[in-house]
Amino acid sequence: MAMASTEAPKTPAVAVFCAARHGGQAAHTQAAQDLGRGLAELGLHLVYGGGKMGLMGELADTMLAGGGTITGVIPDFLRARELAHLGVSDMVITPNMHRRKQIMLERADAVVMLPGGLGTLDETIEVLTWRTLQLHHKPIYLCNIAGAARGILGAIEAAIEDGFAGPEVRKHYQVHTSILDLLEALKLLQNSHGDLEV
């Protein structure tokens, strides 16, 4: 007779890419705060870039205030500049930016892109590329808050139009214009215990 497992189910984790700045619109800051609060309420684990500045700091602060759990992943050179969030107890130090992205994806069951700059675009394009190459099958959610994702969406559409990417690329991500809608999608992740695909 098979023994029942006594191992606790794994808490699904969400990797969030976002800016170390606040951006030019209050909606960007509000989105980071709403996501942190929502992830904590859903009981999902946050994996993020480990920073204390900008949207990263807002996300982490709100998540911690709501009793959420966080893993930060930060390159050593950024930690040396004292940019790491001191309230995050589980902090992974990496030798470079590329390893940071790898670890964040490895530890996550889904990926969210909040508003951000070049670093956020780089991180998101890389995980989309890995998804296109079938190196992972994790859902990717792009948050088009106040039009913040228009650049990356335009680049994807241009690549498809110019014949450098197939239209099936559009199936590898979802676009959300509100954090409320995103959190509804992430509820499915919570119920699936990390097995969700899009």
The pLDDT of residue 3: 44
The pLDDT of residue 10: 79
The single residue listed with the structure tokens 């998101």 is 124
What does pTM read for this prediction? 0.91
The pLDDT of residue 193: 53
CB 124 within 8 A of CB 112: no
Q: Amino acid letter at 43?
A: G
pLDDT by position in tens, the chain (length 198): 444 444 555 789 999 999 999 999 999 999 999 999 999 999 999 999 999 999 999 999 999 999 999 999 999 999 878 789 999 989 999 999 999 999 999 999 999 999 999 999 999 999 999 999 999 999 999 999 999 999 999 999 999 999 999 999 999 999 999 999 999 999 987 666 545 454
Joined together, the tokens standing for residue 123 give 């991180």
Joined together, the tokens standing for residue 2 give 């098979």
The pLDDT of residue 198: 46
Residue/partner pairs of 68-74 with CB below 8 Å, 24 or more apart = 68/36, 68/39, 68/40, 68/44, 69/11, 69/45, 70/45, 70/46, 71/13, 71/45, 71/46, 71/47, 71/107, 72/48, 73/47, 73/48, 73/49, 73/100, 73/103, 73/104, 73/107, 74/49, 74/50, 74/100
The pLDDT of residue 81: 82
The pLDDT of residue 114: 98
The pLDDT of residue 79: 84
Fold assignment, 13-189: Rossmann fold (3.40.50)
Number of C-beta neighbours around residue 134 at 10 A:
7
Q: How far apart are CA 67 and CA 110, in angstroms?
A: 20
CB 118 within 8 A of CB 100: no
10 Å CB burial of residue 169 (0-12, 13-18, 19+) is middle
Which sequence spans correspond to the domains of the chain?
13-189
